[in-house]
Structure 1
Amino acid sequence: MPRLWKIATALLALLAFAALLTFPALLRSVLGLRRADRSAEQVRRAIVPPISTPTDTREKAQLFWLSAASADTLEPNTIELDLSADPEQRAKQLITALIEKAPSQIQRTLPADAVLLQFYLLSDGTAIADFSETLETEVPSGILNEGMAVDSIVRTLGANLSNIYRLKILIRGQEAETLAGHLDLSQFFTLSAQTPPQTPAAGTATDDQPAAVSRLPAGPSRERRTAVGN
C-alpha cells in the first residue's frame, strides 16, 4: 500500500508540474484573444464613428425600401431622422438608416449586418461608398435582388441630396466585379440627370469670354446596368 501511495503521489506531482508549465501559456493565449477582440472593436469604432452629432437637425427624409405589395418595386417611405448639414455626413446617416430602419424584413434591401465603412464626396459630384464585405456576401444572388439593393441606395441619396451626381460602390476599399455574382459594380451609378457644377479650368470667367469648364464624364445610368454571368 505505501508503494501505491508513493506512485499516486508521484503522478499527482507530475500533473501539478505539467499544469504549472502549461498554465502561463494558456493564460497568455486567453489574454491575447481578449486583446485582439478589443483591438478589432477599437478599429471598427475608429472606422465607423458615431453617426449622430450635436449639430444635427430633425428632418423628414425619403428612404426607398421594397414595396410590401410587390417585391420587385421600390417605394419611398418618409421618416424623421437627425441629419447633418454636411453632405458626406448626411449621406452616411441616410445609408445607415436604410440598413437599420427597414419597416419589415420582407421590405429590406440591404443586409442588416452590412456596414458603411466610409463615404467620400468629390468636388465633381462623384460619391464613393465603401461597404463591408457583408454587402457582397449576404445580398441574395440574382440580378433583381442585387439591382434593388443598389437602386435603394441610389434613389435614397438622390431624393435627399442635390449635389451627388453619380455613385461608385466599393467593398472593403476595393473595386468588386459584381455585387453577388450578377450586377456589375465596376461602373458608376447615376443619381441625377442634372449637369454637375462647372469648374473654371484656368483664369476667371468674363461676360465676353467664359472660362473653360470641366464637366463630369457621363457614367452609365441605372437603366444601363449590365449583368455579369447567367
Structure 2
Amino acid sequence: MTEDGKGQTGVFVAAAVATLVIVAIFSFFSGPDAAQRNITEAPIPASHSGRIEEESFFLYFAQRDGRFLTSEERTVSTTKDPWQLSQKIIAALIDGPERGSARTLPATTRLRALYITDPKVAVVDFSREIREEPMGAASELLTVYSVVNSLAVNIPEIDAVRILIEGERAETLAGHIDISEPLAPDMLMVR
C-alpha cells in the first residue's frame, strides 16, 4: 500500500471513530431515559462564596377562609445556595404558619428529595402523607400553589415546580388539580 493509501485509511478510521463518539453522546442525552436523568441531576451549584447570611423570603399559606393564599415573611441563615434555601422553604411550609394563616401541607408530610434541574425547574418529592388530609378542589389548589409560589417567587434559579409523590409523577394530589407537568407560580391566588 502506498503512503497516500495509508493516509486515506487513517483519515477514514479517525472520521469513523469521531462519528461513533458523536452518536454515542447524542444517544445518551436524547434516549428514552434522558428525561429521568434530567430529574435526578445534582442541585445547581450556587454562584457565591460560602458565607452565611440572613435571607428573607415569603411563604404562602392559606387564608383562614380557605379562598386565597396569603404571604408570611420569614428570615433564615443561609449561604444563599438555591438548593439549601429551597429545602428550608419546604421545611417551613411543613412546619406551618406562625401568624394566623392556615397550613397548606399536613404536618406529617416529609420532603423525600428536592432537585433543581435545567431549565430552572425544582423537582420536589413529597412522602404520601401530603395526601393524608381530605381535600376539595379549593384546598388542593392552595396546597399546590403554596409550594409552587413559595419556591418560584423566592428563588431566581426556579421558574417552575414539579411535584412528585413517593418518587413518582402523579396526575393530581386529590383528583382536582393537574400536577403532571411543572407549574409556574400564580400570584393571582395571593391576597
TM-score range, shorter chain: 0.5 to 0.7
Task: Give the structure 1 partner of residue 135 of structure 2.
Answer: 141
Q: CA–CA distance in 2 between the matches of 1:71 and 1:177? A: 23
The equivalences for 1:171-182 within 5 A come to 171-182=165-176
Contact conserved, 2:122 with 2:160, CA < 8 A, in 1?
A: yes
Task: Give the structure 2 partner of residue 161 of structure 1.
Answer: 155
Contact conserved, 2:121 with 2:162, CA < 8 A, in 1?
A: yes
Runs of 4+ in 1 over 3 A off after TM superposition: none
TM-score normalised per structure 2: 0.65
Task: Give the structure 2 partner of residue 76 of structure 1.
Answer: 71
Q: Which runs of 5+ in 2 are unaligned?
A: 1-49
Contact conserved, 1:189 with 1:222, CA < 8 A, in 2?
A: no
Q: CA–CA distance in 1 between the matches of 2:79 and 2:93? A: 16
User: 1:55: Cα distance to partner?
Assistant: 5.5
**Equivalent position amino acid for 1:103 in 2:** E
Task: Give the structure 2 partner of residue 183 of structure 1.
Answer: 177
Match of 2:59 among 58, 63, 76: 63
**Equivalent position amino acid for 1:59 in 2:** E
How many residues in Structure 1 have an aligned counterpart in Structure 2? Answer: 139
**Equivalent position amino acid for 1:129 in 2:** V
TM-score normalised per structure 1: 0.55
Query: Cα 1:222–1:186, aligned 2, differ >3 Å: closer, same or farther?
Result: farther
Q: Which runs of 5+ in 1 are unaligned?
A: 1-53, 192-220, 224-230
Partner deviation per Cα, 1:18-69 (whole Å, 9 max, x = no partner) = xxxxxxxxxxxxxxxxxxxxxxxxxxxxxxxxxxxx954322221111124x
Identical pairs, percent: 32
**Equivalent position amino acid for 2:132 in 1:** T
User: 1:152: Cα distance to partner?
Assistant: 0.7
CA RMSD of aligned residues (A): 2.3
Task: Give the structure 1 partner of residue 3 of structure 2.
Answer: none
Partner of 2:83, secondary structure, is: helix
Q: CA–CA distance in 2 between the matches of 1:174 and 1:222? A: 27
**Equivalent position amino acid for 2:53 in 1:** T
User: 1:222: Cα distance to partner?
Assistant: 8.9
